[in-house]
Amino acid sequence: MSGSSLDGLDIAYTHFQQTGGKWSYEIIQADCYGYTPEWKNKLAGATALSAFDYCVLHTAFGHYLAEQVNGFIEAHSLYHQVDLIASHGHTAFHDPARRLTAQLGDGAALAAGTGLPVVSDLRAMDVALGGQGAPIVPIGEKWLLSEYNWLLNLGGIANLSANKGEEYVAFDVCPANRVLNMLAGTAGKEYDDEGRMAAAGRVHEALLQELDSLDYYSLPFPKSLANEFGTRVVYPLISKWNLSVEDALRTYVAHICTQIARSVQAVQSSGQQTGESRLLATGGGALNNFLVQELQQMLRGLDITLVIPDKNLIQYKEAVIMGLIGVLRWREEVNVLSSVTGARYSSIGGALWMGHA
């Protein structure tokens, strides 16, 4: 899994088992391989490339993924133990209104480089069926984390899922870590460690009001965001105010928390979520102590308890769920939920590349 925050490539070697219709999982090994500045720049600049150069990058990144997987297998002595690779790749283009989504990382190159079966292009079928293609993790939340009725991923983009028994509602809330990291970058930092810089700042009310008034937030769900919303709309809007990095971070943390709380209220008012209210937060943002504290305060007012799991699940939940999506594809079972994406029907998504004779 390569997320929109561009912090690196997550690889999780996970065992899945189904017994009596119930799925369980165990994370055996997991690592995050940070991108070199060269790879980070290539991925960040992918949308500005010509069609030919984009295809060259797509293939090159697929072979890069194969190198990283082979290195992971060697580092953890997993020879002859991996049955299947499920690769999300790195999202470059996402425009479901035109039935388009594109993730960098050629599945054929990954299969050829590892000699293992690969499932890739996980979102494409849903988008072709008129769905948002996002979020796709609720299928994993349904089968692996059903004890929680709210699930929040604080990644490059924050997305929220609500469990209502047989049906899930989920959607992208707002840009999160990608914008926070860009703001921290103006101070020479890769990220705001534990939210210390944000904690030292003050909320700029006029900017917060402008952020909260962006059109996307008034749209009904299902809905999803492209990475460019954060980099080309939100970040320039913040930059024009010329705030200190601390005040910019503090204001954007307030924006993230406000939009999450409003999204929870929207689901609650729709009658599409009931039961004991526990929210599981994962993704890199769950390691931002200041963001978590601010969010806890807002959620208490909505009678929701915020749960922060162990670090492995925080960092690798999405990589683990990509694995389950691959397993379900291999078994030819539904792995994308139309109740979440708005597609015509739930589908079996993903291209399969065998990788061996």
Q: Do 341 and 306 share a domain, yes or no?
A: no
| Helix (H/G/I), strand (E/B), else coil: 33 | strand
Backbone dihedral angles phi then psi of residue 100, each to the nearest 5 degrees: -130, 130
Q: Do 76 and 224 share a domain, yes or no?
A: no
Segment 112-141 mean pLDDT: 95
CA 276/CA 348 separation, integer angstroms: 31
Percent of the chain with pLDDT strictly greater than 90: 89
Ramachandran area for residue 242 (φ above 0: left; ψ -120 to 50: alpha; else beta):
left
Is residue 188 included in any domain, yes or no?
Answer: yes
The β-bridge partners of 86 are: 119
Q: Is the pLDDT of residue 256 over 70?
A: yes
Rg over alpha carbons for the chain, rounded to the nearest Å, is 19
Q: Which domain holds residue 81?
A: 9-133+316-353
Q: Is the pLDDT of residue 274 over 70?
A: no
Q: Do 167 and 303 share a domain, yes or no?
A: yes
Is residue 4 included in any domain, yes or no?
Answer: no
The pLDDT tens digits of the residues spanning 219-232 come to 998 899 988 999 99
267 CB contacts (<8 Å, ≥6 apart)? 160, 162, 169, 221, 273
Based on the structure, what is the number of domains in the chain?
Answer: 2
Q: Is the pLDDT of residue 39 over 90?
A: yes
Q: Do 165 and 241 share a domain, yes or no?
A: yes
Q: Do 128 and 211 share a domain, yes or no?
A: no
Is residue 152 included in any domain, yes or no?
Answer: yes
CA 169/CA 163 separation, integer angstroms: 7
Q: Do 178 and 293 share a domain, yes or no?
A: yes
Is residue 3 included in any domain, yes or no?
Answer: no
Segment 241-270 mean pLDDT: 96
Q: Do 244 and 339 share a domain, yes or no?
A: no
Q: Do 129 and 145 share a domain, yes or no?
A: no
Is residue 177 included in any domain, yes or no?
Answer: yes
Helices (H), 174-242: 177-185, 196-199, 205-212, 227-228, 235-239
Q: Do 128 and 167 share a domain, yes or no?
A: no
Q: Do 149 and 281 share a domain, yes or no?
A: yes
Q: Do 256 and 142 share a domain, yes or no?
A: yes
CA 91/CA 105 separation, integer angstroms: 9
Q: Do 216 and 91 share a domain, yes or no?
A: no
| Helix (H/G/I), strand (E/B), else coil: 295 | helix
The pLDDT tens digits of the residues spanning 293-345 come to 999 999 998 999 999 999 999 999 999 999 999 999 999 999 999 989 999 99
CATH number at residue 346: 3.30.420.40
CA 19/CA 17 separation, integer angstroms: 7
Is residue 213 included in any domain, yes or no?
Answer: yes
Segment 105-115 mean pLDDT: 98
CA 270/CA 115 separation, integer angstroms: 48
Backbone dihedral angles phi then psi of residue 196, each to the nearest 5 degrees: -65, -40
Ramachandran area for residue 73 (φ above 0: left; ψ -120 to 50: alpha; else beta):
alpha
